[in-house]
Amino acid sequence: MTAGAADPRPAAKRGPLNPLLTGSGEYPFVTLDRKRRERVPAGVRVIDFSIGDPRERTPAFIREALKAQVPEVSSYPSVAGLPELRAACADWLRRRFGVSLDPDTEILPVNGSKEGVFLLALAVIGGGERRDTILIPSPAYPVYENSARFAGGTVLRTRLSSDRDWRFDPDRVPEEVWDRVAILWLNSPHNPTGAVLPRDVLVSAAERARRSGFWLASDEAYADIYFGEPPHSVLESGTENVLAFHTLSKRSAMTGYRSGFMAGDRRLIEALRRFRPNVGVATPEFVQRAAIAAWKDDVHPGEQRRLYADKRRLFLDAFIGLGLTVEASEATFYLWVKAPGGDDVGFVERLMEVGLVATPGSFLGQGGEGYVRWAMVPTLDECREAIGRLEQLQERANR
């Protein structure tokens, strides 16, 4: 082609994309990271309280179990997981909640609970069923809504509130709604508020699922991070129409291992076992071996709880001294902090001025406005440093 001549080839037409990937919407934590880059002063080390990624060391015996099982020859793992892993998960459920599940038909490993949570809606919605509504108590973990939208479902939020201690009440949902529900998401202990649902609420929701014919999905990722009585599981109500999600990410400081499991109704477990090979989500066997070691041990979660309890006392005292109100926050490693003046985004942006990052409650859905989620995941020394920075921020405001 002669230099400067027009290209005779027609312009390439763009291939189709899912509209959810081309719209203006942005995953909340991507937005938060962009704000951090824009607002944290150059040279200031960030202490990040925004994402639930523990900075504590994974217990040594778990790391050793992983290293010992890395094979010389790698093979495809099974979606169903090792029988020893499913048995270890079943044994933990029995010890922790007093429930007996069949590891062969009622338990299925997942690559961290997030992957299982996301794929559930894709496995449930479709085929002309009139039930396409995903009911989400809000504020909430964003993946519940995102997965529903990718599956083509209808999202319906029911607002949690301060006056009800941030707890979901199934009796407040209109009767006509239940006939459209495909999945009701519960999350106890709750992210972001740290509220815990009583056993009778879990039982009531499970009974409603059986009467109305929907799936009750219970995200119990924080079941082993508590400061009072151990939280209950929806599995204590039986497994019919119920699916519970558990993970080692929080319990054992294993976020990077991506290992958890789902347990419950054998009909749904069987359907998911058929669905998941299409996605390619089988967990590597050496990770499964490390997971077996983790689920078999009940000592290290207690050590993790003591670390979080120390951080919790530190921040509760500091927030009181700074005139900040903390609500709910019975369990998990989150504190649900009322933003001064009700401006959660503005408060987080001011925190960034001293290199601190937290999550605005409004980023986590309706009902979160005016609150900030504070994840107590940095080390204890970093937490002490953060309190000093908070005091500096208050001094600036008082000048």
Per-residue pLDDT reduced to its tens digit, 165-178: 999 999 899 999 99
Enter the CATH code of domain 72-297. Answer: 3.40.640.10
Distance of CA 217 to the CA centre of its chain: 13
Q: Tokens 């002063």 — which residue? A: 41
| C-alpha to C-alpha distance for 290 and 83, rounded to whole angstroms | 14
| C-alpha to C-alpha distance for 385 and 2, rounded to whole angstroms | 65
Beta strands 371-375; 359-360: pairing state = antiparallel
Looking at residue 360, its pLDDT comes to 97
Beta strands 242-247; 215-219: pairing state = parallel
How open is the CA angle 308-190-381, to the nearest 5 degrees? 20
Q: Determine if the pTM surpasses 0.85.
A: yes
Beta strands 154-159; 133-138: pairing state = parallel
* 276 burial level (CB within 10 Å; 0-12, 13-18, 19+): buried
Looking at residue 28, its pLDDT comes to 82
Contact assessment for residue 292 and residue 85, using Cβ atoms and an 8 Å cutoff: yes
> C-alpha distances in angstroms, 112 versus 152, 187, 257, 262?
23, 15, 8, 10
Q: What is the pLDDT of residues 229-274, one digit of tens each?
A: 999 999 999 999 999 999 999 999 999 999 999 999 999 999 999 9
Residues, the chain: 399
Q: Domain 22-57+300-398: state its class.
A: alpha beta
3-state secondary structure at position 300: helix
Task: Sketch the domain layout of the chain as residue ranges.
Answer: 22-57+300-398, 72-297
Count Cα neighbours of 126 within 13 Å in the Cβ-side half-sphere: 10
Looking at residue 1, its pLDDT comes to 52
Looking at residue 4, its pLDDT comes to 60
Low-confidence ranges of the chain (pLDDT < 50): none
